């Protein structure tokens, strides 16, 4: 009956508790076990729910060799929910099977068992007595950190081997600088910031175990010092000096261009006859009066004779080739605008191609054959000529196609003169005349460098030529420059490819031109040689000039049809 | 003739003696090197067991044999610090050598079955087993030299025959379980060897306390 009553009350109690919402405890859980020195260890657990009723916890363990179950010897030393195994209860290289039980009035709950071998769960305490001192050496101050192993760990006997690690940072920084110190208990830190406040911490770990916690922070202030990294400063100074010297030298070298860049020169006046000194010193009237050049603006000629092309260069075909070979630039040069006489560079300079012509004189003969080819080419070219300018002067040079040349030296076929109307305005006709003129042209091979000057183009669009030489250039009596004998009008070119000249000519001499060209002509004349051609008619005679010095025989006949120089005097014969 | 012969012999012996004494490594250096090797040995075995654990069937943990089933458990070793520190140097060395010797054959077995182990990392495991064998061999040689210097009692080696069969099992789970069990036994034994040698090292390094 008593038993029945007990059971009944027990059941009643349970049912009542359940009705009131109580329950057996939840499952506890062993969180970790740790041994600080490989001699003792502690295990901690986490309680489950307590079911609303007061719950007690118990820890039971079994060692690997026996089946005996023991209860935790010490629940208090290590705190709440812990079990401390002292030295007597601790065996190493032995597996412990540990279980925690939670018990309350309604029941109990076992945790999952955990196997523990003490040697694998070693986690020492933090190193002790961490001291940091500032020391000096020749390079500056450094920190010496020293510490001691945690008190309990027996490193002296070699039972536990600890390795250390420390970390440093400046106050206010985020990142720590970590250093492994191995088994030593002292460490030096260099390269400190002058006047900085440093934080130092140390921790340790057994050879096969877990890291301890970081020791409490030690603060140390580095005194102010001047960084004696003199080598760096020296290097910087040398480098800067070097750069400076280089720059100075470059600047010196390029002083002109720098000056030019920074202070561009003011263009001075380039007026001929303009005296700068006079401008600086004298009065303006004087200065400007000096500018007045007699003869400019030209007032004498009223029909723009002077403004026209100064002279015509009439070549033989081969000369033209050779001249061409020389380079068209000569041609171009020759075609500079005649401009005003006051211009000292009259553009004639390039027309020192005369001298070039001289040089090529000897070669002329050899090029007969080539010339024929080119003549054909030239013909074709002529056909393609476009853009001839009307009026003034037409450029009839065989190979020159550029219409720009119309204003420059006119190198023209004498035959151009005769059919004047045709020639000047109608390229087609001109071509035709040129062609006829060229037909059957034989290379006289002579290289006459005498110029025929275009005096003007008259109303009928005729180019009026005059020789360039003046009386002063006469060397011998061969040059017969009489009145009205200096130039002749080209009447035409007959079928025999001869230049037909008119008798009546206007005597006109351009003093200036003559002066200018006289001596040139002389020069030319001395070197030139009239080469004869057999095709010439007797109407035109070669002009015996001072070219007599040449080896070329002077024949009576002279063909000047294509590119010869027209010597008016002789042709009048 | 004999006179000259004996002279030559004396000369030879003197030279040999000088050579030996000049090149002889002091004991504490030898111990230092040995404990470095044993440290490495234990680290390797620990990483091996962790690697194997990564793909271990949970049921395997249930059926894992108890550590007392290790073939070396019959060897009496100290179980706490006081006991360990009471052991003499030569005994400690002898224990270390015995344990090391006991694992020569099992390591061979592990090595041969590592390649066919049903584990994703079996290649890496195989390489590590090879390393284990190398370190084990070189440590053994070093300990032999040490024992020569430390007296006759250190020469004694307990025989711990490995009675395990020549293969580690038939089915996948039992293979894994047996492999892991062997490795766990090795891990503990390598830790013992390491501890003994480090205690020895500290005892020999009276001149250099910073070693300990």
- Domain A128-227 sits in CATH at 2.60.40.10
Burial class (CB in 10 A: 0-12, 13-18, 19+), A353: buried
* Beta carbons of B80 and A91 less than 8 Å apart: yes
SS3 B176: helix
* Beta carbons of A64 and B67 less than 8 Å apart: yes
* Beta carbons of B81 and A155 less than 8 Å apart: no
Which CATH number does the domain housing residue B205 bear? 1.20.1250.10
Check for a shared fold between A21-117 and A128-227.
yes
Kindly give the residue spans of alpha helices, DSSP state H, lying in A254-352. 255-262, 276-281, 284-291, 317-326, 328-334
User: For the residues B2-7, what does the mean pLDDT come to?
Assistant: 72
How many distinct structural domains can be found in chain B? 1
Interface probe, candidates B62, B191, B201, chain A, greatest A C-beta count within 10 A: B191
Question: Residue B4 falls within a domain, yes or no?
Answer: no
What integer pLDDT is reported at residue A307 of this predicted model?
59
- pLDDT of A321 strictly over 90: no
What is the torsional sign of CA A148, A150, A156, A160? negative
Render pLDDT for A175-210 as a digit per residue (tens, 0 to 9). 999 999 999 999 999 988 888 899 999 999 999 999
CA-based max dimension of chain B: 80
More confident residue, A494 or B201: B201
- pLDDT of A500 strictly over 80: no
Q: Is A455 within 8 Å of A464 (Cβ atoms)?
A: yes
What integer pLDDT is reported at residue A66 of this predicted model?
86
A162: closest chain B residue by CA = B212
What integer pLDDT is reported at residue A274 of this predicted model?
62
Residue A190 distance to chain B (closest CA, Å): 23
Closest CA to A440 of A397, A385, A493, A500: A493
- pLDDT of A105 strictly over 60: yes
A97: closest chain B residue by CA = B66
* Beta carbons of B42 and A208 less than 8 Å apart: yes
A148: closest chain B residue by CA = B210
- A to B CB pairs, distance under 8 Å: 65
Residue B38 distance to chain A (closest CA, Å): 11
What is the torsional sign of CA A522, A524, A525, A526? positive
Tell me the C-alpha distance between B99 and A182, whole Å: 28
Render pLDDT for B85-108 as a digit per residue (tens, 0 to 9). 999 988 999 999 999 999 999 999
Residue A38 distance to chain B (closest CA, Å): 8
* Beta carbons of A161 and B188 less than 8 Å apart: no
Considering chain A, what is the average pLDDT of its residues? 69
* Beta carbons of B66 and A154 less than 8 Å apart: no
B61: closest chain A residue by CA = A115
User: Peptide bond preceding A530: is omega within 30 degrees of 0, i.e. cis?
Assistant: no
SS3 labels along A40-108? CEEEEEECCCCCCCCCEEEEEEEECCCCCEEECCCCCCCCCCEEEECCCCCCCCCEEEEEEEEEECCEE
Structural domain harbouring B160 = 27-211
What integer pLDDT is reported at residue A143 of this predicted model?
92
Least confident of A167-171, A433-437, A450-454, B202-206: A433-437
* Beta carbons of A207 and B198 less than 8 Å apart: yes
Entry pTM: 0.56
Question: Residue B22 falls within a domain, yes or no?
Answer: no
Q: Where are the domains of chain A?
A: 21-117, 128-227
Tell me the C-alpha distance between A501 and B81, whole Å: 143
Residue A118 distance to chain B (closest CA, Å): 10
Between A38, A120, A207, which is nearest B81 by CB?
A: A38
Tell me the C-alpha distance between B23 and A56, whole Å: 67
B32: closest chain A residue by CA = A158
Closest CA to A103 of A61, A44, A60, A56: A56
Tell me the C-alpha distance between B128 and B145, whole Å: 26
Closest CA to A527 of A336, A357, A371: A357
CB contact A226 to B (< 8 Å): no
Report residue B61's pLDDT band, with 50, 70 and 90 as the boundaries: confident
Token output for B188: 């503990």
Closest CA to A146 of A78, A202, A108: A202
Kindly give the residue spans of alpha helices, DSSP state H, lying in A410-503. 414-417, 420-425, 427-438
Task: Kindly list the residues from chain A whose CB atom is less than 8 angstroms away from the CB atom of residue B46.
Answer: 208
Give the list of residues 6+ apart from residue A58 with CB closer than 8 angstroms, or none. Answer: A71, A72, A100, A101, A103
Between A93, A117, A158, which is nearest B199 by CB?
A: A158
- pLDDT of A329 strictly over 60: no
Distance of CA A325 to the CA centre of its chain: 39
User: For the residues B48-68, what does the mean pLDDT come to?
Assistant: 86
Give the list of residues 6+ apart from residue A358 with CB closer than 8 angstroms, or none. Answer: A447, A449, A524, A527, A528
* The residue to which tokens 């380039």 are assigned: A270
Question: Residue B17 falls within a domain, yes or no?
Answer: no
* The residue to which tokens 């009496």 are assigned: B76
Residue A117 distance to chain B (closest CA, Å): 9
More confident residue, A294 or A144: A144
Question: Residue B13 falls within a domain, yes or no?
Answer: no
- pLDDT of A560 strictly over 60: no
Least confident of A34-38, A67-71, A78-82, A539-543: A539-543
- Domain A21-117 sits in CATH at 2.60.40.10
More confident residue, A435 or B49: B49
Report residue A416's pLDDT band, with 50, 70 and 90 as the boundaries: very low
Question: Residue B19 falls within a domain, yes or no?
Answer: no
Q: Which long-range contacts (CB under 8 A, 24 or more apart) does A482-487 make?
A: A482/A569, A483/A507, A485/A568, A485/A569, A485/A572, A486/A568, A486/A569, A487/A452, A487/A453, A487/A455, A487/A566, A487/A568
CB contact A159 to B (< 8 Å): yes
Render pLDDT for A425-478 as a digit per residue (tens, 0 to 9). 444 444 444 444 444 444 444 455 666 667 777 777 676 777 665 544 444 444
Report residue A29's pLDDT band, with 50, 70 and 90 as the boundaries: very high
Least confident of A113-127, B103-117, B154-168: B154-168
User: For the residues A513-526, what does the mean pLDDT come to?
Assistant: 42
A208: closest chain B residue by CA = B43
Least confident of A41-45, A254-258, A520-524, B59-63: A520-524
Task: Kindly list the residues from chain B whose CB atom is less than 8 angstroms away from the CB atom of residue A183.
Answer: 210-211
Q: Is B132 within 8 Å of B41 (Cβ atoms)?
A: yes
């Amino acid at each position: 009956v008593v038993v029945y009553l007990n059971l009944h009350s027990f059941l009643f109690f349970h049912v009542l508790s359940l009705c009131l919402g109580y329950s057996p405890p939840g499952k506890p859980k062993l969180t970790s076990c740790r041994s600080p020195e490989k001699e003792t260890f502690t295990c901690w657990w986490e309680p489950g729910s307590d079911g609303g009723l007061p719950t007690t916890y118990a820890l039971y363990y079994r060692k690997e060799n026996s089946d005996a179950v023991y209860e935790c010897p010490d629940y208090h030393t290590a705190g709440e929910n812990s079990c401390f195994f002292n030295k007597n209860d601790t065996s190493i290289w032995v597996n412990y099977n540990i279980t925690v039980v939670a018990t309350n009035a309604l029941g109990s709950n076992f945790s999952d068992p955990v196997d523990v071998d003490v040697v694998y769960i070693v986690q020492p305490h933090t190193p002790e007595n961490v001291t940091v001192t500032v020391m000096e050496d020749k390079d500056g101050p450094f920190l010496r950190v020293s510490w001691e192993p945690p008190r309990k760990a027996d490193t002296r006997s070699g039972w536990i081997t600890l390795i250390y690690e420390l970390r440093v940072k400046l106050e206010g920084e985020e990142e720590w600088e970590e250093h492994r110190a191995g088994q030593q208990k002292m460490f030096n830190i260099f390269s400190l910031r002058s006047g900085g406040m440093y934080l130092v911490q140390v921790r340790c770990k057994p050879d096969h175990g877990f890291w301890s916690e970081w020791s409490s922070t030690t603060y140390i202030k580095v005194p102010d010092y001047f960084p004696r990294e003199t080598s760096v400063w020296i290097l910087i100074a040398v480098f800067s000096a070097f750069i400076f010297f280089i720059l100075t030298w470059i600047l010196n070298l390029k002083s002109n261009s720098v000056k030019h860049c920074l202070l561009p020169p003011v263009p001075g006046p380039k007026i001929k006859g303009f005296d700068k000194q006079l401008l600086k010193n004298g009065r303006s009237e004087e200065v400007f009066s000096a500018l007045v050049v007699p003869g400019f603006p030209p007032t004498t000629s009223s029909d723009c004779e002077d403004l026209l092309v100064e002279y015509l260069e009439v070549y033989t075909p081969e000369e033209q080739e050779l001249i061409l070979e020389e380079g068209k630039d000569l041609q171009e040069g020759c075609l500079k605008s005649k401009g005003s006489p006051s211009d000292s560079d009259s553009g004639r300079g390039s027309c020192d191609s005369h001298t070039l012509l001289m040089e090529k004189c000897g070669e002329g003969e050899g090029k007969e054959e080539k010339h024929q080819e080119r003549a054909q080419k030239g013909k074709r070219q002529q056909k393609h000529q476009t853009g001839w300018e009307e009026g003034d002067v037409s450029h009839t040079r065989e190979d020159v196609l550029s219409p720009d040349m119309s204003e420059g030296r006119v190198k023209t076929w004498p035959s151009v003169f005769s059919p004047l109307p045709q020639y000047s305005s109608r390229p087609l006709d001109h071509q035709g005349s040129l062609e006829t003129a060229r037909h059957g042209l034989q290379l006289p091979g002579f290289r006459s460098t005498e110029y025929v000057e275009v005096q003007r183009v008259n109303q009928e669009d005729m180019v009026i030529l005059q020789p360039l030489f003046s009386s002063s250039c006469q060397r011998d009596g061969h040059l017969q420059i009489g009145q009205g004998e200096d130039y002749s009008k080209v009447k035409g070119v007959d079928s025999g490819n001869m230049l037909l000249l008119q008798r009546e000519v206007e005597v006109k001499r351009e003093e200036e031109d003559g002066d200018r060209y006289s001596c040139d002509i002389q020069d030319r004349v001395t070197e030139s040689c009239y080469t004869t051609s057999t095709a010439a008619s007797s109407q035109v005679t070669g002009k015996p000039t001072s070219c007599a010095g040449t080896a070329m025989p002077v024949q009576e006949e002279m063909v000047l049809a294509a590119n010869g120089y027209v010597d008016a005097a002789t042709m009048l014969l | 003739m004999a006179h000259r012969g004996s002279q030559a012999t004396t000369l030879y012996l003197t030279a040999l003696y000088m050579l030996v004494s000049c090149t002889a490594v002091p004991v504490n250096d030898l111990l230092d090197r040995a404990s470095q090797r044993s440290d490495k040995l234990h680290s390797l075995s620990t990483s091996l067991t962790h690697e194997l654990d990564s793909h271990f069937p949970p049921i395997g943990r249930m059926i894992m044999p108890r550590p007392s089933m290790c073939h070396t458990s019959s060897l009496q070793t100290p179980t706490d610090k006081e006991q360990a520190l009471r052991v003499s140097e030569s005994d400690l060395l002898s224990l270390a050598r015995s344990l090391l010797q006991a694992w020569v054959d099992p390591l061979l077995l592990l090595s041969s079955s590592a390649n066919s182990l049903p584990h994703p990392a079996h290649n890496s495991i195989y390489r590590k087993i090879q390393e284990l064998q190398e370190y084990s061999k070189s440590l053994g040689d070093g300990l032999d030299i040490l024992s020569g210097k430390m007296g006759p009692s250190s020469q004694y080696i307990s025989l711990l025959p490995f009675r395990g069969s020549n293969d580690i099992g038939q089915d996948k789970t039992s293979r894994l379980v047996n492999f892991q069990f062997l490795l766990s036994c090795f891990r503990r034994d390598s830790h013992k060897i390491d501890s003994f040698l480090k205690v020895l090292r500290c005892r020999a390094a009276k001149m250099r306390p910073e070693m300990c």
